[in-house]
Every structure is written in structure tokens, then in C-alpha cells.
């Protein structure tokens, strides 16, 4: 730092220090101590107040009397003592006050988004039942997705279990993405079919909007079942004609009474058919009696199926009991809609899962039905129909079959049923019992004795086959059905233009048998019964108007045109031709 002297000081120094070095008199602040002027080492100095000083330096009484840059010291103006040109410590920071330029030449980047999207919610919820036919499917994602590029009918669709009206297994739909809610809405272009299990599928083809894009965490699937409730009028018809069952039990021992109690496939609380034999044989198990029913209706007749399921078939072979898992029997009751009279009843015995079936046909003696060709039937008195409607069904023990209780040529001990062990024991510990339709199913332990017959009786529940079984036909996971199926694709019937039902271009893919862990299984499903040719397996159960009328003549007023057939998704009950009589 540079200071400027006043004019008077500069002049005084030049005159007084001609013989002295300039720096010694004016540039130094050091003043040697003295007692008298003689003690001062430099010429021109005098001793003043104990210190040598130049006589010509101005005197002062305070700093205000001195020129700028001088201070008053011992009444003399002297240069201020400055060790450095700057009064403060040197600033070690040589960086300019302005922001330091960023010397990083790499562009600024963020960490890439690697979080994969997931499905967090779906409506209808997985496993939902009785879903309306006009429902829309809503799938919520955990983050925004690139709907424009990745949400389409290949990555988001509804699988059709039957293949009817579908392309590559998916039904036609419209897809809308609601960006604010991260919800994809899938709307079928036509109402869904009743009593059908659909699967909503979202594949990993769906991706988010990150760069680079992340695919869905994993393939997502969710199932739901559409409305499978039976119409109230058909429930009433099924209840009106429900049979009286005479069940023999002679091949049953002790706790194994469950083998001769018709029940549901999920009697043990699950739809895992492969454990039914083991669970039915537990001593602690008591199955509740139940019979499945289904009703199809043409313009002229009702066809009512009553399907009896038993957890096991038990046979006696050379003194040893042999067990097979599952056993079915069934009767179909043909009722004239105009008269309300039973015209024909046909019963079955279902063989192993890979075998054929046997049937026996009975008709009341008042029925006008006759056989075609070699097809024949057994007659029985119409008076044997309890309340004029309930068929007397006899089921042998162990090997279950749909026989007729009335046909007893030589009394109660020899009921006519052309199958093994086809007799009814009316006394003793293993006496047979009677099952009647009721509000709920009872177990064998609930049986009470009928004083008129001396036989024990229990009630059985009627269970809609369509809701309980048909709606699960797409389950090939070997919980209920095994993985082997067949295409129901009936051939054209001679002299009949088929107006409804499946055609060669619209096959139904249906399960052949129930799951089983037993080497011997009699779990052949009703869908596959009576395979008359390569394409008509299942016709007896699914298409009774065709199956029965090709073998029996129901008269000129008989119609094959269905008013209601849930298996073919036909419901014409509002049609005048189908009006109730």
C-alpha cells in the first residue's frame, strides 16, 4: 500500500537531511533513547522526552494534528507503523469471487429406472363367482405403463375356455388405458357366457414408460366365473321330479358307509378330487347326502338329469374288496311339458375313465314312447311314481347304477338290476336305506326309521350341476379334472337341421375324467358319457333331445329345438314357442 506525504513534510526532509540518508530520517519509526542531545547518534537529532528525534518533525497533541498516514507519538507526528502493505492477513483463496466454472465435461445423467411394473389390483377379484355377463375388467398397475406401444390384445386379454367365438383363445375386446389412475380397462365386445370360468391374462409384453422400458415383473393371471345360477322355474321343476332313491349298503363295513352315500365332489371341503377316496374312508368322516341336477328344455319336453357321485366304487373279488376312486351314476327323466307326465327314464352305470357306459331304459306303462329299431325299454306301473312324478331309483351297493326299484320279480330281496350285487338288503346292520329330496343333506348318522317300511331314511340336497361342476370345466390343473380333454363336436343328425348347440366349427373342449391318485378310477365325467361315434361323446348328458330321440320315438309333437340349454348357451324362454304350458 502506498501513502502520499504532505508538501510541508517533503520540503522539510529535503532541507534538513541533505547530509543524511533519506531512509534513516524519514522512513524509520525507531527513536534511540537519550538523556541529553549528546546521546543522539545522528546529526540533526535532539533529545526530546527521552528519545532522539529530528528537530524539523512537526509536533502534535493528537493524531488529528498530523497529516494522513501519520500518528501522534510523544507529541511528534510519525509515520504509522505498518508491517505490510495490507492491514489484514493475506487471502489464501486465489479463486475469483465469481462461481468457479465446472471443469467436468461429462453430461449430467440420472440413475436408470429399473423398477418393473406389477399388477396391484384386478376387478373382478381372483376367484370371483356369479360375475355379471356385462362386466368390464379393470387392472391396476404399480406405475405408469406405455399403453400406446405395449398394451394390446396380445399382451392383455381374456382367455376363452371353450373357444367359441374366439381368436387364438381370446375373446374380442376393447382396451382403454386410464393414465391418471394407471388402470387398464378391458371390455368384451359381446356379453360373456353364463356359467363360464374366464381367465384374465396380462403378459410381460406390457412395459412401463421408462427409458429403457421395463417389462411387467411376471405374467399375471386371474380367474372369475360368470353368473351360473339356475332360473327359479327350472329349480322348481328339478325339485318336483327329484327321485326317491333306494340305496343298498350290503358291501359296506362300519365307517365306510360313505362309499354308498351320494354326495358332492367337494364333500371334504375342497375341490381336490384326488384325495376323495382317502378322505371318504376316514372313520371320522360322515358325508352329507347330495344329488346334482341339471335341466334342459325343448319346446315340447323337459330333460332333467340327476347325477349321483360316490367317492369310491367297491367290489368283491375272490373274497377281497377292491377299491376304485370315484363312481358316478345318473338318470335322465323326460317330462312332457304339456301334460307334465314322465314319459321316459334312462339310468346309467359309468365304467372306468377310459371305458364305455351302460344304460337301462324304463317307462311308465301309460307313456306313448316307443323304441326305434332294436332299442327297447322296461315298463313299470305309473302308480309307482310317488306324487305322480318321483321316480323310484334303485342303486346297488359298491357298484352304483341307475336301476328301477319296482322291477322286483320275486320280492324285495331280488330287485331287478342287471349288474353285479344288484340286490337290496332290507334287514340287519347293513340294511339299505331310502333317500328323499329335502332342504338340506343329512349324514347316515341322522337316519330315522320309516314305520311303514321299516327302512332308515335321510334327506339329500339338490345341487345345481351347472354352478358346481360345469362352471369349473376349464380347470385342467388336476385339482378337479385331469389334463386330458376332448372336443365335443357332434356329427349332423340325419333328417334334422341342427339349429342350436355345438357344430363342427364351434367345438367345446371338455375334461374327460376327474383327478385321481388311485390306479383304478371311475371318474369319467358326464361330459364324456356315451360316445356313439368319434364326435358325439357327451351327447347323452349335454344334448339329451338328440341322444334320446335318435333311439326312441316321442311322437309327432316332439321338438328338438332347445328353449334352454346352458351347456350350449341357449336361453329362448321368452320366445312364444317356449312359453310355459
Q: What is the DSSP string of 374-392?
A: T---EEE-GGGSBTTTB-E
Can you count the helices (H) and strands (E) in the chain?
8, 30
Q: Are the C-beta atoms of 403 and 415 separated by less than 8 Å?
A: yes
Q: With respect to residue 103, please indicate whether it lies within any of the assigned structural domains.
A: no
Q: Are the C-beta atoms of 85 and 185 separated by less than 8 Å?
A: no
- Looking at residue 14, its pLDDT comes to 37
Same domain as 238, residue 209 = no
Q: With respect to residue 110, please indicate whether it lies within any of the assigned structural domains.
A: no
- Looking at residue 195, its pLDDT comes to 92
- Given 204, 226, 248, which residue is the final one in a domain? 226
- Looking at residue 55, its pLDDT comes to 53
Same domain as 455, residue 335 = yes
Same domain as 274, residue 199 = no
Same domain as 142, residue 271 = no
Q: With respect to residue 437, please indicate whether it lies within any of the assigned structural domains.
A: yes
3-state secondary structure of 16: helix
Same domain as 475, residue 352 = yes
Same domain as 146, residue 254 = no
- Given 79, 108, 131, which residue is the final one in a domain? 79
- Looking at residue 103, its pLDDT comes to 63
Residue in the block written with cell 332347445: 562
How many domains does the structure of the chain reveal?
3
Same domain as 395, residue 254 = yes
Helix residue ranges per DSSP H, 202-309: 232-240, 276-280
- Looking at residue 498, its pLDDT comes to 55
Q: CB-hemisphere CA count at 13 Å for 217?
A: 11
Q: With respect to residue 90, please indicate whether it lies within any of the assigned structural domains.
A: no
Q: With respect to residue 84, please indicate whether it lies within any of the assigned structural domains.
A: no
- Looking at residue 505, its pLDDT comes to 55
Q: How far apart are CA 86 and CA 176, in angstroms?
A: 76
- Looking at residue 140, its pLDDT comes to 96
- Looking at residue 375, its pLDDT comes to 87
Q: With respect to residue 495, please indicate whether it lies within any of the assigned structural domains.
A: yes
Same domain as 222, residue 242 = no
pLDDT beneath 50: ranges in the chain: 1-29, 82-88, 167-168, 409-414, 499-500, 502, 534-535
R_g of the chain computed on alpha carbons = 52
Q: What is the pTM of this model?
A: 0.76
Q: With respect to residue 533, please indicate whether it lies within any of the assigned structural domains.
A: yes
- Looking at residue 409, its pLDDT comes to 44
- Given 79, 106, 133, which residue is the final one in a domain? 79
| H/E stretch holding 10 | helix 7-16
Q: How far apart are CA 385 and CA 381, in angstroms?
A: 8
| CATH number of 157's domain | 2.60.40.1220
Q: Give me the domain span that covers residue 184.
A: 119-226
Q: Are the C-beta atoms of 338 and 581 separated by less than 8 Å?
A: yes
Same domain as 445, residue 312 = yes
Same domain as 215, residue 238 = no
- Looking at residue 242, its pLDDT comes to 98
Q: Which residues contact 339 (CB under 8 A, 6 or more apart)?
A: none
- Looking at residue 413, its pLDDT comes to 43
Cell numbers for 282, please give them.
376316514
Phi, psi of 455 (to 5 degrees): -100, 150
Q: With respect to residue 48, please indicate whether it lies within any of the assigned structural domains.
A: yes
Same domain as 469, residue 320 = yes
How does pLDDT run across 237-295, given as a tens digit for each residue? 999 999 999 998 877 766 688 889 999 999 999 999 999 998 988 877 789 999 999 99
Same domain as 476, residue 336 = yes
Q: Are the C-beta atoms of 511 and 504 separated by less than 8 Å?
A: no
Q: How far apart are CA 224 and CA 130, in angstroms?
A: 8
3-state secondary structure of 265: coil
- Looking at residue 49, its pLDDT comes to 64
Amino acid at each position: 500500500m502506498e501513502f502520499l506525504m504532505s508538501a510541508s513534510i517533503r520540503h522539510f526532509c529535503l532541507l534538513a537531511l541533505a547530509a543524511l540518508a533519506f531512509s534513516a530520517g524519514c522512513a524509520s519509526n525507531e527513536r534511540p533513547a537519550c538523556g541529553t542531545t549528546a546521546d543522539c547518534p545522528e546529526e540533526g537529532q535532539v533529545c526530546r522526552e527521552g528519545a532522539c528525534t529530528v528537530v524539523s518533525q512537526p509536533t502534535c497533541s493528537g493524531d488529528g494534528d498530523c497529516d494522513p498516514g501519520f500518528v501522534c507519538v510523544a507529541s511528534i507526528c510519525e509515520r504509522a507503523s505498518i508491517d505490510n502493505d495490507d492491514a489484514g492477513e493475506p487471502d489464501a483463496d486465489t479463486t475469483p469471487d465469481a462461481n468457479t466454472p465446472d471443469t467436468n465435461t461429462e453430461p449430467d445423467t440420472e440413475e436408470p429406472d429399473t423398477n418393473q411394473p406389477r399388477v396391484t389390483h384386478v376387478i373382478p377379484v381372483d376367484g370371483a363367482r356369479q360375475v355379471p355377463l356385462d362386466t368390464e375388467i379393470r387392472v391396476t398397475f404399480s406405475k405408469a405403463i406405455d399403453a400406446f406401444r405395449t398394451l394390446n390384445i396380445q399382451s392383455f386379454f381374456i382367455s376363452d375356455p371353450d373357444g367359441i367365438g374366439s381368436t387364438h383363445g381370446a375373446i374380442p375386446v376393447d382396451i382403454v388405458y386410464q393414465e391418471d389412475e394407471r388402470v387398464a380397462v378391458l371390455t368384451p365386445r359381446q356379453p360373456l357366457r353364463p356359467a363360464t370360468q374366464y381367465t384374465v391374462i396380462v403378459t410381460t409384453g406390457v412395459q412401463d414408460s421408462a427409458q429403457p422400458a421395463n417389462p411387467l415383473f411376471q405374467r399375471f393371471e386371474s380367474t372369475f366365473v360368470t353368473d351360473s345360477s339356475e332360473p327359479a322355474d327350472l329349480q322348481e321343476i328339478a325339485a318336483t321330479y327329484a327321485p326317491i332313491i333306494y340305496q343298498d349298503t350290503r358291501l359296506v363295513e362300519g365307517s365306510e358307509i360313505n362309499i354308498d352315500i351320494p354326495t358332492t365332489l367337494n364333500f371334504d371341503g375342497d375341490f381336490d378330487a384326488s384325495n376323495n377316496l382317502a378322505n371318504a374312508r376316514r372313520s371320522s368322516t360322515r358325508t352329507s347326502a347330495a344329488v346334482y341336477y341339471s335341466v334342459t328344455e325343448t319346446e315340447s319336453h323337459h330333460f332333467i338329469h340327476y347325477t349321483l357321485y360316490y367317492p369310491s366304487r367297491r367290489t368283491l373279488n375272490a373274497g377281497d374288496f377292491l377299491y376304485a376312486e370315484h363312481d358316478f351314476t345318473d338318470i335322465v327323466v323326460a317330462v312332457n311339458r304339456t301334460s307334465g307326465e314322465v314319459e321316459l327314464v334312462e339310468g346309467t352305470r359309468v365304467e372306468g375313465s377310459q371305458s364305455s357306459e351302460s344304460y337301462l331304459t324304463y317307462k311308465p306303462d301309460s307313456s306313448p314312447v316307443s323304441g326305434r329299431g332294436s332299442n327297447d325299454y322296461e315298463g313299470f306301473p305309473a302308480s309307482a311314481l310317488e306324487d305322480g312324478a318321483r321316480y323310484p331309483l334303485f342303486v346297488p351297493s359298491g357298484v352304483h347304477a341307475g336301476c328301477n326299484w319296482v322291477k322286483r320279480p320275486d320280492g324285495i330281496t331280488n330287485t331287478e338290476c342287471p349288474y353285479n350285487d344288484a340286490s337290496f338288503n332290507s334287514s340287519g346292520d347293513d340294511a339299505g336305506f331310502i333317500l328323499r329330496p329335502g332342504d338340506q343333506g343329512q349324514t347316515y348318522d341322522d337316519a330315522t326309521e320309516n314305520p311303514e317300511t321299516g327302512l332308515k331314511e335321510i334327506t339329500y340336497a339338490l345341487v345345481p350341476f351347472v354352478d358346481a361342476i360345469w362352471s369349473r370345466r376349464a380347470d385342467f390343473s388336476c385339482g378337479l379334472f385331469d389334463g386330458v380333454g376332448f372336443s365335443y363336436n357332434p356329427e349332423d343328425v340325419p333328417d334334422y337341421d341342427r339349429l342350436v348347440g355345438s357344430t363342427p366349427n364351434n367345438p367345446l373342449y371338455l375334461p374327460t375324467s376327474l383327478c385321481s391318485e388311485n390306479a383304478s378310477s371311475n371318474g369319467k365325467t358326464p361330459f364324456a358319457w356315451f360316445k356313439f361315434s368319434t364326435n358325439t361323446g357327451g351327447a347323452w348328458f349335454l344334448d339329451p333331445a338328440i341322444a334320446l330321440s335318435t333311439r326312441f320315438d316321442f311322437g309327432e309333437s316332439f321338438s328338438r329345438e332347445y328353449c334352454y340349454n346352458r351347456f350350449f348357451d341357449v336361453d329362448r324362454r321368452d320366445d312364444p314357442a317356449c312359453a310355459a304350458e
